[in-house]
Amino acid sequence: MITRRHLMASIGASALMLPLARRAMAQQPFVIPTYGGTWAKLWEETLVPEFTSATGIQSQIDVGLGKDFVSKIRAGGGAAPYSVFMGNENIAATLRAEGFFEPLDMSKIPNAANLYDGLINTGNNGLRAIVSPIGLAWRTDMIQTPPKAWTDLWENPEYAGQIGLYQIGNTGAQLFLRLAGRLFGSGDTDIDTAFTKIKELQPFTQASWSGEVAAQLMRGDVAIAPVDWTEILTLQDKGAPVEIIVPEEGVLSYEQSFNIVKTGPDKEAAHAYINFLLDPKIQSILADTFYVSPANREAVISEATSPRLPVQGEAMSKIIRFEWDNYIDVAAEVADRWNREIG
């Protein structure tokens, strides 16, 4: 039987525990969301120790996809598990519209001053710190006439039936769809024209992620496809007969958007982490490891990697970007239409 004395003792003990609990909470490591595979490896082995050594902030990674981080932040409601979000800009735009992010305090991110144009969102609502350009790649042993422009996909009959495209769930497909609208229609929001033109490319093989495109190219299931430099240079390192170009119209790009989560537990650490990622030294490491284009003008790419990365320096202006804040209103409808009309 619980007596009043027991009750008072319990309440007293709980009150004494509160500061301890708060301290324990305060000592919880800063959670860094990142991707799996080689990304997680680099973060665990290099970036996290470097970050701790540079800032004194203890941290741990949480591996997933941008969409997984969205689900966890949404599910967290008023107490998000992350203070920083990493994901493609079109995915970040969804959470931003739902009010989960707050503007960056740029005074805490001095390295952002050296970012290339177009990488900081309007109103400091997030910035893009990792840039993976998407070009047009092909199998050199299967294609006689290498492509020069995105429009070649439609105009060169040699490519018919050998084309690979991203599935609409991947940001790459949404970028390509909007590019088709811009190339052939009234603009990147001309979805009807984009669908008409993409249907002209059928039959084509679809892939859910870049690794799948790379595998399809390796197997010869597709001979030409839009894909990022990361995948193609990695295939070349393994001796695969593949090549990639910057199309005449420019390149598309996976841009990892970094945002401060409004309900996250440690926004100071989140700002420090974003600043750390933008550091020229870290940007160089990312470029050498993943063949991404440095976002910081001060970053130096190694002599071995630099000639293989055409989208750097002044060429960063060749990246074709789209506004996502309005697109998210129609994103689900577009995805549904793709599933029904393209398959």
106 binds another protein (CB under 8 A): no
Least Å distance between CB 338 and another protein?
Answer: 9
Are 288 and 301 contacting, i.e. CB atoms less than 8 angstroms apart? yes
Q: What is the DSSP letter of 225?
A: E
336 binds another protein (CB under 8 A): yes
Three-state SS for 46-111 is HHHHHHHHHHCCCEEEEECCHHHHHHHHHHHCCCCCCCEEEEEHHHHHHHHHCCCEECCCHHHCHH
The SS3 of residue 231 is helix
161 binds another protein (CB under 8 A): no
Backbone phi, psi, residue 19, to 5°: -60, -35
Least Å distance between CB 340 and another protein?
Answer: 5
49 binds another protein (CB under 8 A): no
Least Å distance between CB 72 and another protein?
Answer: 12
How many C-beta atoms surround the C-beta of residue 72 within 10 A? 17
Bridge partners (DSSP) listed for residue 30: 59
Determine which residue in the list 42, 97, 142, 149 makes contact with another protein, applying CB under 8 A.
Answer: 97
314 binds another protein (CB under 8 A): no
Determine which residue in the list 169, 280, 310, 313 makes contact with another protein, applying CB under 8 A.
Answer: 169
Of residues 180 through 239, those in contact with another protein by CB under 8 A are: 205-206, 208, 215, 219-221
Closer by beta carbon to another protein, 191 or else 251: 191
**26 is written with which tokens?**
């305060």
74 binds another protein (CB under 8 A): yes
Structure-token match 């129609």, residue found? 330
Give contact residues for another protein (rule: CB under 8 A): 67-68, 70-71, 74, 94, 97-99, 167-169, 205-206, 208, 215, 219-221, 328-329, 331-332, 335-336, 339-340, 342-343
